[in-house]
């Protein structure tokens, strides 16, 4: 009989091996699903994982796109991971991403058509501030009234979406757009544009910010007292209180940082790849980043790889979808499997499998 036995210490080896095992299981189950849909599973998996990187037709374009897609995911996920480690659950990064983009874009558009070097940096700061303030709503409510930040931050996403729609058809609408919804194109106004830093690499300021965030988060967690408090609060809340961790500060810090980073992702996206505020500007980065954070074991470097991997499944998934005629829903299910298997095999980190006699209850 097989049974699970709790490990005295979570296994370090398994905590690194489970993501790989989860990917392997996803490949297997995904392959079976594609086969069940009547598609060649090998071709499907090859199109998803290898074609964006190596296919002579697509790779030159797809490789830089990996960074474009992974940039906001990594930036948001790094922020979320701090809170998740400390037991502060910001589920509303999508809303902070939207509000960051709105604040940054609004700050810039107020000055249109002025040309000045400081406009873009100012917009970036406004974007970070927007995300920060939006995240402060659940933070303050939790600190003052002990409300559940999961619910508050999540529900604020829907508020943000309605704010976005109203801005796209109202205050931020392009006055020269013939009454159609959507703001001016920020990528085409040189003072607000966030172009590729080196042409053909996909590397824009948002991607650079993501890499910087990874490094700073790593330093914070390893070398800084705040990082120690975050880890302690997650692992041993009681001990944390004795060690002088002030929960209010921790909540405000974690929500604030993750909100500001989500806001940054929003402003870099709206000034670069996306180009404008539109009704459907947000495409789910804030939610996908939650998967990225867990897939990366809440570790900055892990998140870097997880972000790139998920970006690969998006870009490869698109290729598979139109080249092999695989339904978009199947691609989404495939991505969902990744999180599912990760959580499922996670049990191996904290438990070990033992074969032994059946214990009769």
Q: Which residue from 277, 275, 260, 220 is spatially nearest to 100, judged by alpha carbons?
A: 260
Q: H helices of 50-181, where?
A: 51-54, 59-86, 93-109, 119-145, 149-169
Instruction: Return the residue of 208, 216, 283, 333 that touches another protein, per CB under 8 A.
Output: 283
| Residue 125 to residue 129: CA distance in whole angstroms | 6
328 binds another protein (CB under 8 A): yes
**CB 286 → another protein: shortest distance, Å?**
13
Using the Cα atoms of residue 128, residue 129, residue 132 and residue 137 in order, give the sign of their dihedral: negative
SS3 of 325-350: the string is CCCHHHHHHHHHHHHHHHHHHCHHHH
329 binds another protein (CB under 8 A): yes
Instruction: Return the residue of 19, 95, 108, 182 that touches another protein, per CB under 8 A.
Output: 182
Instruction: Return the residue of 57, 146, 358, 360 that touches another protein, per CB under 8 A.
Output: 57
| Residue 206 to residue 270: CA distance in whole angstroms | 10
40 binds another protein (CB under 8 A): yes
Output the CA–CA distances (angstroms, integers) from residue 230 to 77, 256, 313, in the order listed.
Answer: 16, 14, 31
Nearer to another protein, 8 or 38 (CB): 38
- Tokens 């954070």 found at: 293
| Residue 299 to residue 305: CA distance in whole angstroms | 10
- Convert residues 284-323 into a mask of x (bound to another protein by CB under 8 A) and - (unbound): x------------------------------x--xx-xxx
**Number of other residues whose CB lies within 10 A of the CB of residue 192:** 27
Stretch that binds another protein, among 131-139, 279-287, 341-349, 351-359 (CB under 8 A): 279-287
56 binds another protein (CB under 8 A): yes
Output the CA–CA distances (angstroms, integers) from residue 172 to 60, 168, 188, 199, 260, in the order listed.
Answer: 35, 6, 16, 30, 22
180 binds another protein (CB under 8 A): yes
361 binds another protein (CB under 8 A): no
The site for another protein, by CB under 8 A, has a size of 50
100 binds another protein (CB under 8 A): no
| Residue 321 to residue 340: CA distance in whole angstroms | 22
Stretch that binds another protein, among 62-70, 80-88, 117-125, 129-137 (CB under 8 A): 62-70
**Number of other residues whose CB lies within 10 A of the CB of residue 71:** 29
CB 61 within 8 A of CB 290: no
- Give the chain's count of helices (H) and strands (E): 15, 2
Instruction: Return the residue of 162, 190, 222, 235 that touches another protein, per CB under 8 A.
Output: 162
Stretch that binds another protein, among 118-126, 166-174, 213-221, 340-348 (CB under 8 A): 166-174
**CB 42 → another protein: shortest distance, Å?**
5
Nearer to another protein, 52 or 138 (CB): 52
Q: Contacts with another protein in 125-154 (CB under 8 A)?
A: none
201 binds another protein (CB under 8 A): no
Residues that bind another protein (CB under 8 A): 38-40, 42-43, 46, 55-58, 61-62, 65, 68-69, 162, 165-166, 169-171, 178-182, 185, 269, 272-276, 278-281, 283-284, 315, 318-319, 321-325, 327-329
């Amino acid at each position: 009989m097989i049974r699970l036995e709790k490990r005295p210490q979570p296994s370090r080896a398994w905590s690194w091996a489970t993501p790989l095992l989860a990917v392997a299981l996803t490949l297997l189950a995904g392959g079976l699903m594609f086969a069940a849909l009547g598609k060649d599973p090998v071709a499907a998996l090859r199109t998803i994982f290898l074609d964006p990187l190596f296919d002579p037709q697509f790779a030159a374009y797809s490789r830089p796109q990996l960074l474009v897609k992974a940039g906001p995911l990594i930036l948001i996920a790094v922020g979320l991971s701090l809170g998740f480690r400390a037991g502060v659950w910001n589920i509303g990064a999508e809303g902070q991403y939207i509000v960051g983009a709105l604040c940054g874009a609004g700050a810039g558009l107020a000055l249109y058509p002025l040309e000045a070097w400081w406009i873009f940096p100012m917009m970036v700061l406004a974007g970070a501030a927007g995300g920060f303030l939006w995240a402060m709503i659940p933070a303050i409510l939790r600190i003052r009234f002990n409300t559940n930040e999961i619910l508050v931050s999540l529900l604020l996403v829907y508020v943000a979406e309605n704010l976005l729609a109203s801005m796209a058809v109202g205050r931020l609408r392009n006055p020269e757009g013939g009454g159609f919804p959507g703001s001016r194109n920020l990528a085409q106004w040189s003072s607000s544009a966030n172009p590729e830093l080196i042409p053909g690499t996909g590397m824009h300021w948002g991607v650079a910010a993501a890499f910087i965030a990874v490094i700073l988060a790593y330093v914070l967690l390893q070398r800084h007292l705040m990082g120690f408090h975050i880890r302690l609060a997650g692992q041993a809340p009681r001990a944390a209180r004795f060690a002088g961790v002030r929960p209010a500060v921790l909540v405000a810090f974690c929500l604030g940082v993750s909100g500001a980073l989500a806001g940054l992702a929003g402003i870099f996206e709206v000034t670069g790849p996306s180009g404008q505020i539109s009704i459907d500007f947000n495409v789910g980065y804030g939610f996908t980043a939650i998967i990225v954070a867990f897939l990366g074991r809440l570790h900055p470097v892990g998140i870097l790889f997880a972000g790139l991997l998920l970006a690969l499944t998006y870009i490869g998934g698109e290729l598979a979808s139109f080249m092999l005629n695989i339904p978009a829903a199947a691609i989404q299910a495939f991505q969902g499997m990744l999180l599912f298997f990760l959580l499922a095999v996670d049990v191996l980190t904290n438990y070990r499998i033992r074969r032994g006699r059946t214990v009769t209850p």
